[in-house]
Amino acid sequence: MASSQHTFDYDLIVIGSGAGGSAAATIAARAGKKVAIIESDTFGGDSPNWSDVPTKALMHVARIYDEARHASRFGLRTSTLGYNYPSIRAWKDIAVKRTGAGGNRRFYENQGISAFHGNAHFLSPHEISVNRRHLSAAQFLIATGSSWITPKIQGIEDVTFFTPRTVLEAIRPPKSLFIIGGGSHGVELAELMATFGTKVYIAEKASRLLPHQDEEVGALMEKTLTERKGVTVLTHSRVLSVVKEGLGKRILISRAGVEKHIKADEILVAAGRAPAVDLGLENASVVYTAKGIEVNEHLQTSTKHIYAAGDVLGKLSNTHTALLESRVAAHNILQKTKVSPDYTATPGVIFTSPEIAHVGLSEDDCHKRDLAINKAVAPLNIIARSNTADFRDGFVKLITDKKGILIGASIVAPNAGELINEVSLAIKHGLPAQAIADTPHAFLTWGEAVRVAAAKLAKK
């Protein structure tokens, strides 16, 4: 056991410079602590470099292109519309650069944080090695995140395939693309590629796309992708094998017990992520499994001076949750009184067209917990904005407990990600649906649908 006289190289070493690590490193440095941050990949981690920021930059372009292509009904002449994919990629790179969090090693160094590039490996509870250098610290935060996994499919190791990270660097959209995994990343990328003319197949084991969302969400997304984008949606489907055939790939799937072959130029694997736990944790007596590092309610691991935050915990996470955990970990590292992260009312958004947003409990969650609920759905086509924008598909679904208190919501609508924040606020503060129903909502905004759904519930 290290005595209080023991001198360490640092007060805090943060392993991982993504959302789970960066906030804590910055907070500790500003509090006057001696801090080091270690990154094995590109500084800034997943979100600004290869997921949120570049994906949303590309999807923004796709949405404009798609809306313009379908705008002849408004009297716009759109027959000569085209695109230049290298220029679109250049725009994505500008967006990443502007955000400033990608490749931002200098940002840490300017705050007096020592930045190291390499793989961290624990040698003992207070010491790690990075590129053959030994560094010690009084406390650690592990925020190594997660990475895309290769599913167990016969022949997958013998063919080249994209991941949601590498597909962003494709020189141009492929002629045809087979996507394995119908979760949020798979669906976003299916829409992106289909908009730019790729013939897309998307396979999902579950009975619907987006199986973690409310049932209506997956059903509407499937309708949108097939009818508007020409995507072939293969639910109830398992991929059995993949072989190279000519310049493309031949994929064998089993769909509801029937086997069939599909040919595609490229494959994209978006079937789950695994936490990055290969850093000698046993040498620090940190308890973990393949599913992630185990922590208590204060984000402490089994070794009390070592904390963990973000995707490495192995929960279904997102960038704003990792930031929340990073701030909580920083507080607990710096202060005597410990706090716990409050996950209630943390929204999630899928940036398709229309957007999908959810917060709190889904109807499935409520059934699993045997919660008695009331629910109401307001279809978008009942509000005036759907007429002026000529957009009919979508809805706001709100769920309350039997006392009328809001506990969950799903929204499929243009700008759903903005609409959800109002409901998050209500859930966070335990407000009833009546409170939203009684609040005037600006006329001709999509938000009127939220008020209508709340008013339906208030009547119950």
Q: Which residues contact 163 (CB under 8 A, 6 or more apart)?
A: 148, 268, 269, 270
Q: In this structure, are residues 148 and 142 in contact, taking their beta carbons and an 8 Å threshold?
A: no
> Across the chain, how many H-helices and E-strands are there?
13, 23
Helices 416-428 and 448-459: crossing angle, nearest 10°? 40
Q: Which residues contact 252 (CB under 8 A, 6 or more apart)?
A: 239, 240, 241, 242, 259, 260, 261
Burial code (b: 16+ CB inside 10 Å, e: under 16) for 132-168 equals: eeebbbbbbbbbbbbebeeeebebbeebebbbbbebb
| Cα–Cα nearest to 322, from 302, 283, 292, 352 | 292
Q: What is the CA 218 to chain-centroid distance, rounded?
A: 17
What pLDDT does residue 459 have?
87
Residues in the chain where the model's pLDDT stays below 50: 1-3
Q: Taking the model in full, what pTM does it have?
A: 0.94
Is residue 299 helix, strand or coil?
Answer: coil
Is residue 434 helix, strand or coil?
Answer: helix
Residue 440 one-letter amino acid: P
What pLDDT does residue 24 have?
98
Q: In this structure, are residues 168 and 192 in contact, taking their beta carbons and an 8 Å threshold?
A: no
How would you classify the pairing of strands 306-308 and 133-142? Answer: parallel
Q: In this structure, are residues 330 and 24 in contact, taking their beta carbons and an 8 Å threshold?
A: yes
The partner residues of 154 in beta bridges, in order of sequence, read 241
Full set of structural domains in the chain with CATH: 10-45+102-147+274-334 (3.50.50.60), 52-94 (no CATH), 156-271 (3.50.50.60), 348-459 (3.30.390.30)
Q: In this structure, are residues 195 and 62 in contact, taking their beta carbons and an 8 Å threshold?
A: yes
Q: In this structure, are residues 262 and 172 in contact, taking their beta carbons and an 8 Å threshold?
A: no
Following DSSP, what letter does each residue of 204-217 receive, concatenated?
Answer: -SSSSSSTTS-HHH
The partner residues of 244 in beta bridges, in order of sequence, read 249
